[in-house]
Structure 1
Amino acid sequence: MSNVSSSPLEPLDAAGFEALALGSVPLAAALGLKVDRFDHDCAVVRLPWSVTALRPGGSVSGPAMMTLADIALWGAILARIGHEPLCVTTDLTFHFLAKPRHADVLAEARLLRLGRTLAIAEVRLLSEGSDHPVAHAVGTYAIPPGRAPDRAPA
C-alpha cells in the first residue's frame, strides 16, 4: 500500500509558489527570486539585478541563471499539477545565448508535455526590457507516483 494520497493536489497561486520555492530552495532565497506570473499557461520568475548573482566581469553568473531557469520550469509544472514539492529535475539542457544586460533577468517557462511520471517544460531567459533571449533551457521533471493528473493537457 502506498503512503501517497490519490486525492487531488492543493492548487498553488503565485504567492504560494514563491513561498514554496524560497522556503525549500535556499539558493532561490539567497538570489531573491520573485514570481511575476504563475498560471496554467506560464510561470515567470524574476532574478533581481544584484551583485550576489554576478561573476567576474559584471555578468550574471551561469549558476544564478540556471537556478532561475530551474525554479521557473518547476513553477510551470506545479501550476498544472498543484503543490508537489517532490517533483524534481531529472534533466536540464541549458544554452547561453548572449550576455544579459545590467537589468533583472526574467525566466518565462511553459509546459511542453505532462505525463504520469514525467513533465517536460522549456524556458526563455530575457533581460528586462529586451525581447532577445539571453538563454534557453529545456527541463525534464520526475513526478512522484500517483501525483500527476489523470489526463495530460493538450
Structure 2
Amino acid sequence: MTGDAFAALATRGVPYVGQLGCTVERFEHGRVDVRLPCRDLLLRPGGTICGPAMMALADITLYGVVLSMVGPVELAVTADFNIHFLRKPRPGDLIARGRCLKLGRSLVVGEVSIVPDRRADAPADPAATPPEPRPVAHVIATYALPPSAPTYDAPPSDALRPGHGTDGASGDRAT
C-alpha cells in the first residue's frame, strides 16, 4: 500500500478525514507521518489548533501505521486511545509521527508524537538545520483488526522464537 492509496481509503471510508486537509508525508512499513494544516476551522482562541483536531490527526496517523503493515483493512478500528497534551502548540501546521510498537494477530499498539512544523523554527541561515521541535502531544493507542485481516506481516528481521508458533503448542508470535 502507498501513502496515496492510504489517503484515498481513509477519505473514502470516513469523509470527515478529507475535510481536515491532512497530507501524508511519509508512509513506510510501521512508520507514518501526517501533516495537519493550520486552518481557521480548526483554531481555538489564541490561534492554535484545537485538541479534538489533534486527536483526529493522531487517530488518522495510527490508522495509516496499521495499514502500512497489514494492507487495506477498512474495518480496523480504534480500541483504545490515550492522549497527553504536553504544551500549547504555536500557530501553524502540526506533524504527527506515528510508529508501531507491537503488531499482533488481532491488535496493533502504536504511538504518535505530534510536533509543530519545523519550518516555523527555520534559522535565518538557510544552510542551518532547524532544531527538532518539542512534542505538543503524545498518544498511545490500540487498533483492533477484524478476523478477516491479513496474517502477521513482520519485517524480514523479525523471527519466531524456537518452540513458539511452530509446534502447535503455542500460537504466540515473538515480538
TM-score, with length taken from structure 2: 0.77
Match of 2:42 in 1: 53
Tell me the CA shift for residue 42 of structure 1. Answer: 0.9
Match of 2:141 in 1: 139
- CA distance in 2 between counterparts of 1:151 and 1:78 reads 11
Match of 2:102 in 1: 113
Tell me the CA shift for residue 57 of structure 1. Answer: 2.4
Change (3 A) 1:55 1:13: same
**Within 5 Å, which residues of 2 pair with 1:28-107?**
28-107=17-96
SS in 1 for 2:110: strand
| Aligned residues with identical type, % of pairs | 45
Change (3 A) 1:92 1:143: same
Conserved 8 A contact 1:48-1:105? yes
Match of 2:4 in 1: 15
Deviations 1:36-64 (A, max 9, x none): 11111410011011111111222211110
Tell me the CA shift for residue 20 of structure 1. Answer: 1.1
Higher relative CO (Cα under 8 Å, sequence separation at least 6) belongs to 1
SS in 2 for 1:146: coil
SS in 2 for 1:85: coil
Give the aligned length: 143
- CA distance in 2 between counterparts of 1:50 and 1:151 reads 37
Amino acid at match of 1:103: G
- CA distance in 1 between counterparts of 2:17 and 2:90 reads 20
- CA distance in 1 between counterparts of 2:47 and 2:148 reads 45
- CA distance in 2 between counterparts of 1:84 and 1:26 reads 17
Amino acid at match of 1:98: R
**5+ long unaligned stretches in structure 1:** 1-11
Conserved 8 A contact 1:115-1:148? no
RMSD: 1.4
Q: Work out which of the two has the higher radius of gyration on C-alpha atoms and give 1 or 2.
A: 2
